Amino acid sequence: MQQNPAKFYGGIVWLISGCALLIYGILGLTQPDMLGAEQLISFIQSADGVFLYFAVFTAILLEGLYFIGSFFPGTSIVLLLAILAQAGGSVEFLLVITIVFLGWALAGILNIIAAAYFSHWLQTEQATNATLQQDAEITWFPAFRSNAEVAQITEGHTMRKVFLSSTLIKLYACAGLIVYSLVLPMIIDIQNLSNEEGFIGLGIMALINFAVGGKKIREYYIKKAAP
């Protein structure tokens, strides 16, 4: 049975990101001079005024970019929690959430444009009637959402459909961050967050990437082998 290789390419997108996460995590645990959560928190606590908001926008933009975001995992969450420790009130907090959404949306646009160019180079077929599978419970996290955006374009979905659906998930995720950011400081002491804890967490994220990518590739070969 002839199969469109787009599903296979979509799986590769997730595997590449998983490898990047794993490599960065290993380097972080073995190289003491690698940038981690401790340095990030120290930098944000020293920021003030406009520079603080610029740091938020830059962090979520980098984290929201495919592959590049694998080397900045969790920065938006850490930034947001650090800001809460020095926030001046609800207006400033909502402004931070808005900046996170705008930076994240811009990252999505860049991902989609780059993936569309890549898909054109691969000459994958357009999945005009295929259902756009979101898996929002997993892909709400910036590093995973960027993988989903690139994979969906690579699998043949239209740029407009991917952008609208992805932006909606980001809107819901930012709304959830309001609750998440108020509750998490009661569970985790951000002042004592270590680099080791952050880098170990990358291993879990890498495993999720490998699982999603492996599942897509397995589905491709199962359909390919079907009579």
- Can you give the pLDDT at residue 106? 96
For residue 26, tell me if it sits in a domain: yes
Residue 11 lies in a domain: yes
Decide if 1 is inside a domain. no
pLDDT in tens, 59-68: 888 888 988 8
Query: How far apart, in Å, are the Cα atoms of 137 and each of 106, 128, 141?
Result: 21, 24, 9
Question: Does residue 176 fall inside a structural domain?
Answer: yes
Give the domain extent around 83.
6-225
In a domain, 21, yes or no: yes
115 in a structural domain? yes
Is residue 78, in this structure, part of any structural domain at all? yes
Q: Does the pLDDT of residue 2 top 50, yes or no?
A: no
Convert the pLDDT of each residue in 126-177 to its tens digit.
555 556 766 666 677 787 888 889 988 888 888 999 999 999 999 988 887 7
Domain count, the chain: 1
Rounded to a whole number of angstroms, the CA Rg of the chain reads: 18
Find out whether 25 and 202 touch, Cβ atoms under 8 Å: yes
Residue with token string 């929002």: 136
Whether 23 has a pLDDT exceeding 70, the answer reads yes
Give the DSSP letter string of 5-66: THHHHHHHHHHHHHHHHHHHHHHHHH-TTS--HHHHHHHHHH--THHHHHHHHHHHHHHTST
Q: Strand, helix or coil at 3?
A: coil
For the stretch 77-113, pLDDT in tens is 555 555 555 556 677 777 888 888 999 999 999 999 9
Confidence of residue 194 (pLDDT cuts 50, 70, 90): low
Q: What is the pLDDT of residue 1?
A: 43
Classify residue 212: in a domain, yes or no. yes
Task: State residue 35's pLDDT score.
Answer: 62
